[in-house]
Structure 1
Amino acid sequence: MLLQEDGCARVFKSEKLGEAEIYSSFANSLSVEYAGGTYKSKEFSSDSGYGIRVLNGGRVGFSHANLEKDVGKCAKTAKSLSRFSPKTGFSFEPAHASYPKAETFDSKAAELEPELAFSAIEEILQEIKGHAEPTRVSIGFMEGMERVSNTSGVEAESRHSYVSVYAEAKKGTGLGFSIYSSCFLPDDFGKLGEEAGKIAAAMDKSAPLKSGNFRVKFSHQALSSLLGFMLFHFDGDNRRRGISTLKSGEKKFCESFTLISDPLAKADAACPFDGEGAPSAPIDLVREGRVGGFLYDRYTAALEGVEAGGCCQRSDYSSLPRAGITNLVIPAGEIPESEFPQDYLEVVSFHGIHTSDPVSGDFGVDVDIAFLHKEGKRKIPVSNMLLSGNVFNLFKRIEAIGKEQHTHGGLVSPEIWFSGVHLIGK
């Protein structure tokens, strides 16, 4: 259980902390894995703890503890460590009368039932076997809660669930996979196996194309990777340090492109408040091709001397809070399915984005799963090609945006086609 409001108040008072904040969280999880023709593991795990920040003379100290009985000691440590941090105008999030609603909890997933996990894997395996050989399937269920309390009056609490699925298949030299992540159970586990199996079967006959410039549509997974790479420049700390080259209001992208960081969207990073207790609200990162806002937590904003916040993220209770993204939303365009481009290269999967240069935006990735579409249908499986370019130039060359949004993990986006994308093959 988390330390409740009265418990936090006792710590604040008894330790004479002055201004302080307690972030607490717990998570219970179940993971099941199938590989090599058998079930490899079934594991339950649990983790909980407290992250404490103390503001002492304009300086912030941080410490963490696993047990409630150690919270007081942890607070003293945080206060002592504050002397090593720079003096800023930082203050904790003020109190709020209410918080918006965010869809974050699936009661069925939160039951952590092994029977559900095993039956889901069996559904996935059955569908894979209709097309290819299953190599690995893993499923994870998680339920938890997080709470933020501070001496300014913030009292925020949220319960959440999480579901992750990975299905992998092979046929000959072909490999295929499917990934799912959400706060909610999928409507059909079998479809994930079908997708992995069909891709593996198709990729058994894949080959690179001749080098050239292509019209390209990225899968939601691939598009999410590209956006994550680009978001380096929307990090408030990178802007503060002069690493980001973007400026608010700058025309940097195609006019049809808008990108929103929206923690209230129904996707896997939904939350009613940020890691400091600020009410969740959408932020326009790009609006009709122009740079909008940047992602700040209160401490980063204080270091820069600007008024900003609302984007604090915590990977867990033991990590320092910092600015980060939640869900990314790209609004629907105007192109109906009947008018979708008919000839293009669909890039399903690539790897190597982590070796690219986020400062310049230049990237090069190895495309391992792609399909050449002719007359609107998948015709030729493609692999072993190098896709290179600049991420800012890429998002200047948007050719078409579909009318219907789809959700993949933390990305809500329609289908998007880009023109003149350079790939090196034969």
Structure 2
Amino acid sequence: MSKTLQAIRGMNDILPEQTPTWRYLENTLATLLDGYGYKEIRLPVLEFTELFARGIGEGTDVVDKEMYTFLDRNAESLTLRPEGTAGCVRAVLEHGLTGGGQVQKLWYAGPMYRYEKPQKGRYRQFHQVGVEVFNLPGPDIDAELIVLTARLWQKLGLAGSVTLQLNSLGSSEARAVYRDALVAYLQERFEQLDEDSQRRLTTNPLRILDSKNAQTQALLVGAPTLHDYLDEESRVHFEGLKARLDALGIGYEINPKLVRGLDYYGRTVFEWVTDKLGSQGTVCAGGRYDGLISQFGGKPTPGVGFAMGVERLVLLLETLELVPAALHSPADLYLCAFGEPAELAALTLAERLRDAMPGLRLVVNAGAGSFKSQFKKADKSGARFALILGEDELATRVVGCKPLRDDSEQQTIAWDALAQHLATCLAQA
């Protein structure tokens, strides 16, 4: 017996009852980003593996353990993108978008891929909205990105459910000095580290700072802190960022162990976290990566950005019951027609209403059916009104208009007055 076809583990279908919430979130984000002057860029899902090895960094968990990598028919190594920043940097370099000091404020959305253990809020195919800004070195643009996300939480009703965490990683030179101090401290306690941290000690020691292992965290209590090694320029930059957030009344916590999982970050890093989703608490994260473009062969170019996980934000909206109820009503009107002449007239009438009422959600009954069956489908559709067109209505060019969500009486409306009547009813409902 053949195996039942099903989706790959960790790669999920987004079903019709789920997509309204996704569209609500995506549309809210797109409108917000437009309002701040950001432009959309659409990037390939596949890139050469070298892009991520060079950009994210060999020795990171993403590159070493989590990427979907394969050889194509030309024996070239390709990878399904595990994140969006490296591909966006490749695109702006390839097309000369940052040449001559041009400022670019870009955003993108789409699926990313990592081979992880699937769990609630963490999947192998997941979706992100990412924002990247190039050629603005100051803390003002770092602040704008955080302000933008804070406004998003307000629009979604999430402002009281997320907390901003901040840190500065300093310059690459300052991090190198700190790295040596941290490694020296941990080498003396090597046997007490968990297995994963022992491996990271030689590949990516700063990631040990955000280890989830309780014993390792206890060892880190007396470890050197990155803030003690910050260079003066990074310190001034960080103070400038905090001053702007303070001026706007945006609260934050300084988290000296916040380092992010990708090698390209420097100076500002930030995360918006929640305690409403268990262990998957980060809903938006980002920071500054001034050295990444030069790392890819371009001229030194400041860069800063963030990414937010769509699945986690959808889950958070659902958990807190913040999804607008109107999203679950896919129709305003359901047009019932009885008999072939009425069915033909219904098509014309429906298109006239759509012309007169842009944005109207109108479902025309298909498949004929009795009065009872059509009304049952009208009610199931979630529509607020049923329109009734039969032989009698057709003869006198009127339509029956029956409210479906209250006990109001059915009314009879002339075709020429129907659009205005419906606009009034829908505005009041």
Q: TM-score, normalised by structure 2?
A: 0.21
Larger radius of gyration: 2
Structure with the bigger percentage of helix: 2
Q: TM-score, normalised by structure 1?
A: 0.21
Structure with the bigger percentage of strand: 1
